[in-house]
Amino acid sequence: MSKEGSAISGQLVCVEAADDDLWQQFDALATRSYGHPIADITHLRPHADLRVATRGGRVIAGGLGLLVPQFFGGRPVPSACLAAGCVAPEERGQHLAADMVTQRLRALQEQGAVISAISTSSNGYARTMGWEAPTHVFAWTIPAEDLKNSFPTGTIEIHHGLTPDAINLQHDLARHWNGPIHRPDWWTSWKQTKTNLTTYRFHPPGQPITGLLSYATNRREQHGMNLTVHDFWAADTNTAEAMLAFLGHHNTRADTIEFRRGALPPQPLLLHNLHRYRAQAQAWHPWMLRILNIPEALRLRGWPPNLDTTLPIEIENEHDNTTQRYLLQITAGTAELTPTHTPTKISLTRRQLAAWYAGSYRTTTTAHLSGIHTDSDETLATLIHTTTNHEPWLPDHF
The residues, any chain, with a CB within 8 Å of residue 1's CB and separated by 6 or more, are 16, 17, 18, 19
Taking the C-alpha atoms of residue 353 and residue 340, their distance in angstroms, rounded to an integer, is 18
- Does residue 5 register a pLDDT over 90? no
- Selection from 194, 182, 198 nearest residue 42 by Cα: 194
Residue 13: what pLDDT? 85
394 within domain boundaries: no
Residue 122 CB-half CA count within 13 A: 9
C-alpha distances in Å from residue 176, one per residue of 81, 82, 218: 20, 23, 32
Taking the C-alpha atoms of residue 25 and residue 266, their distance in angstroms, rounded to an integer, is 40
Taking the C-alpha atoms of residue 102 and residue 229, their distance in angstroms, rounded to an integer, is 34
pLDDT tens digits, one per residue of 102-126:
999 999 999 999 999 999 989 999 9
C-alpha distances in Å from residue 390, one per residue of 52, 266, 304: 37, 11, 10
Beta strands at 334-339 and 115-119: parallel, antiparallel or unpaired: unpaired
- Does residue 253 register a pLDDT over 60? yes
- Does residue 213 register a pLDDT over 50? yes
**Domain co-membership, 199 together with 153:** yes
CATH number at residue 332: 3.30.1050.10
pLDDT tens digits, one per residue of 137-152:
999 999 999 999 999 9
**Domain co-membership, 141 together with 265:** yes
Residue 69: what pLDDT? 98
CATH number at residue 17: 3.40.630.30
Residue 7: what pLDDT? 47
∠ CA(61), CA(131), CA(102), 5° rounding?
35
Per the structure, the count of domains in the chain is 3
Q: How many CB atoms lie within 10 A of CB 343?
A: 8
Q: How many CB atoms lie within 10 A of CB 308?
A: 10
**Domain co-membership, 254 together with 192:** yes
pLDDT tens digits, one per residue of 166-188:
999 999 999 999 999 999 999 99
pLDDT tens digits, one per residue of 236-249:
999 999 999 999 99
Residue 1: what pLDDT? 41
Residue 328's domain comprises: 303-387
pLDDT tens digits, one per residue of 347-358:
999 999 999 999
pTM for the structure as a whole: 0.93
Single out the residue in 284, 311, 341 at which a domain terminates.
284
324 within domain boundaries: yes
- Selection from 343, 348, 316 nearest residue 327 by Cα: 343
- Does residue 8 register a pLDDT over 60? no
Name the DSSP letter for residue 379: H
293 within domain boundaries: no
* Cβ–Cβ < 8 Å for 260, 214: no
- Selection from 239, 259, 270, 273 nearest residue 158 by Cα: 239
* Cβ–Cβ < 8 Å for 166, 199: yes
* Cβ–Cβ < 8 Å for 53, 5: no
**Domain co-membership, 266 together with 312:** no
Q: In the sheet where 211-219 sits, what is the strand order?
A: 157-160, 198-203, 211-219, 225-234, 256-259, 137-143, 280-284
Residue 327 identity (one-letter amino acid) = L
Single out the residue in 284, 314, 346 at which a domain terminates.
284
pLDDT tens digits, one per residue of 179-212:
999 999 999 999 988 999 999 999 999 999 999 9
Single out the residue in 119, 148, 173 at which a domain terminates.
119
Residue 277 identity (one-letter amino acid) = Y
**Domain co-membership, 316 together with 347:** yes
54 within domain boundaries: yes
Residue 359 identity (one-letter amino acid) = G
Beta strands at 137-143 and 256-259: parallel, antiparallel or unpaired: antiparallel
- Does residue 74 register a pLDDT over 50? yes
Beta strands at 346-348 and 308-316: parallel, antiparallel or unpaired: parallel
298 within domain boundaries: no
* Cβ–Cβ < 8 Å for 324, 286: no
**Domain co-membership, 65 together with 194:** no
- Does residue 88 register a pLDDT over 70? yes
159 within domain boundaries: yes
- Selection from 374, 294, 383, 389 nearest residue 330 by Cα: 383
The residues, any chain, with a CB within 8 Å of residue 21's CB and separated by 6 or more, are none
The residues, any chain, with a CB within 8 Å of residue 65's CB and separated by 6 or more, are 48, 49, 50, 51, 80, 81, 82, 83, 104, 105, 107, 108
373 within domain boundaries: yes
Q: What is the mean pLDDT of the chain?
A: 95
Locate all alpha helices (DSSP H) within the chain, ordered by sequence: 20-34, 40-43, 96-110, 123-128, 144-150, 164-174, 185-195, 237-248, 269-273, 294-300, 350-357, 364-369, 377-385
- Does residue 4 register a pLDDT over 70? no
